[in-house]
Structure 1
């Protein structure tokens, strides 16, 4: 379940297609090295959700909120020391109001699964200056998303 993009615009466009399919309560975990395009991808997701605000990395605030028909909550979990800190951030309150996109979310992945939360995990691999391989993990929600994108 992979996509290849050859430019920032193509990465954003794939994010936009995914954003158009998301519903309130969806959780996306984004993984990739620094500079892999996680924030660019999230900008596309926001556009697909009808959000016109400029999306930036929430590195120093943990979470940024963007309003649209469905709110987007953009988390950066890079600085979390313990997965349980996600609950301290009030993520459950956000979850029931909109879509959650979590950069560096692998730290909380096991906890989410153990607590019964379904999620979509997407990995971004930088293969060149502008090229990326974007992989949707084989989770139940990931499979559903991939099928919708392939139609």
Structure 2
């Protein structure tokens, strides 16, 4: 499917893009976030959490803890698992130790994955809808956000 692009000129606009995406998601969905360092991936996740009825203040980058889980109040969605695979090699033992299979199979959650790895595709349940988000830094601090919905 063709991506739906937009341009964000601020963190607040990136959060609004995340909140707008949240309205399209349902429990079991997986959102794969790609982009350069500081492109706004965690900011977009903050918008997802807010759009799902959670608290923006709770959201921080999971770079060092690898996974953050946020409670949500949206109908049918109890939590969002925010996973950052940047520091992990593309190896099964590390992903298993993280508990990735359990997070991805949580039927009451939406999963947002920064820096998705090639091996991740094999772990995503067949009935999950997979969204692709690419954030690109532009001149002047703006960001291009391309969201590709599931096919």
Provide TM-score, normalisation by structure 2.
0.81
Task: Give secondary structure in 1 for the equivalent of 2:141.
Answer: coil
Of 70, 88, 100, which aligns to 2:111? 100
Provide TM-score, normalisation by structure 1.
0.81
Match of 2:83 in 1: 75
Deviation at 1:83, TM superposition (A): 4.5
Question: Contact between 2:130 and 2:149, CA under 8 Å: does it hold in 1?
Answer: no
User: What is the rounded CA distance, in whole Å, between the counterparts of 1:58 and 1:108 in structure 2?
Assistant: 20
Cα RMSD of the aligned pairs, angstroms, is 2.0
Q: Which has the larger strand fraction?
A: 2
Of 19, 23, 27, which aligns to 2:22? 19
**Structure 1 segment 2-151 matched on structure 2, within 5 A:** 2-52=5-55, 53-69=57-73, 70-84=78-92, 85-95=94-104, 96=106, 97-112=108-123, 116=126, 118-137=129-148, 139-140=150-151
Deviation at 1:122, TM superposition (A): 0.5
Deviation at 1:32, TM superposition (A): 0.5
- The gaps in structure 1 that reach 5 residues or longer are 141-151
- The gaps in structure 2 that reach 5 residues or longer are none
